[in-house]
């Protein structure tokens, strides 16, 4: 069974300096029919103007993943982490018992585009943590986060696997799916086909009750794929 939510069905927010599309309810955008999928709570597609960003604010009991698409983020947090997260890199911040941070676009001329993802952890009150990494690009499914940090992936405090998908046009890849689990695909760019149904940039697909998911690249494509409890 597969359900597709198209890009233009997402919630839209325009704050001038921040233009965002929300796959699930977030902030001022509320949709009782789209509160997340399993432990996946937020996917925000953020476009941040030059020199703008999020001032210091706090989080608690959430696994927060950021993937920079274009531009760079200047990150500072209460654990003492200070640095730049450039395009193509991932960040995983485990808020745990509490963390404060700020995220800015340090460029004076170039916009910043990113995906911010929130995952509910398997338990609350964990010790906060920070991870940042560039994963060498590869075709197919590349593991980014897992509960045991295998294959040099990030350690995430939830029973899920996050993959970065790259597919050239004409290529395909299959993912085995346990009958009790859910796969969620968020297409960043390009076009793919799943079970004969097309996905375009910004689309999301929730897939359940199958033992294998075949993903076919129709145009050079990039996506995030979540194997969820």
Over the stretch 114-165, which tens digit does the pLDDT of each residue have? 999 999 999 999 999 999 999 999 999 999 999 999 999 999 999 999 999 9
Averaged pLDDT for residues 67-93: 97
Q: Hey, what domains does the chain have and what are their CATH numbers? A: 2-228 (2.60.120.10)
Mean pLDDT across the chain, nearest whole number? 97
- Taking the whole predicted model, whether its pTM rises above 0.95 is answered as yes
Q: What is the pLDDT of residues 171-222, one digit of tens each?
A: 999 999 998 999 999 999 999 999 999 999 999 999 999 999 999 999 999 9
Q: What is the pLDDT of residue 195?
A: 92
Q: Which residue has the tokens 């398997």?
A: 122
pLDDT band at 54 (very low <50, low <70, confident <90, very high): very high
């Amino acid at each position: 069974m597969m359900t597709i939510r198209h890009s233009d069905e997402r919630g839209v927010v325009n704050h001038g300096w921040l233009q965002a599309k929300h796959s699930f309810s977030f902030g001022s955008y509320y949709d009782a029919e789209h509160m997340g999928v399993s432990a996946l709570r937020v996917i925000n597609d953020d476009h941040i103007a030059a020199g703008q960003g999020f001032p210091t604010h706090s989080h608690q009991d959430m696994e927060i993943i950021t993937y920079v698409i274009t531009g760079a983020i200047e990150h500072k947090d209460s654990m003492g982490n200070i640095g730049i997260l450039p395009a193509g890199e991932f960040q995983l911040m485990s808020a745990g018992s509490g963390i404060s941070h700020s995220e800015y676009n340090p460029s004076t001329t170039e916009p910043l585009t990113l995906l911010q993802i929130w995952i509910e952890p398997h338990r609350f009150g964990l010790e906060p943590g920070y991870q940042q990494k560039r994963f060498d690009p590869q075709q197919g499914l590349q593991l980014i986060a897992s509960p045991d940090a295998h294959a040099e992936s990030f350690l995430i405090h939830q029973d899920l696997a996050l993959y970065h998908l790259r597919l050239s046009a004409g290529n395909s890849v299959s993912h085995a799916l346990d009958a009790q689990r859910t796969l969620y695909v968020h297409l960043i760019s390009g076009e793919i086909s799943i079970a004969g149904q097309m996905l375009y940039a910004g689309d999301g697909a929730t897939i359940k009750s199958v033992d294998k998911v075949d993903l076919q690249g129709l145009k050079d494509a990039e996506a995030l794929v979540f194997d969820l409890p």
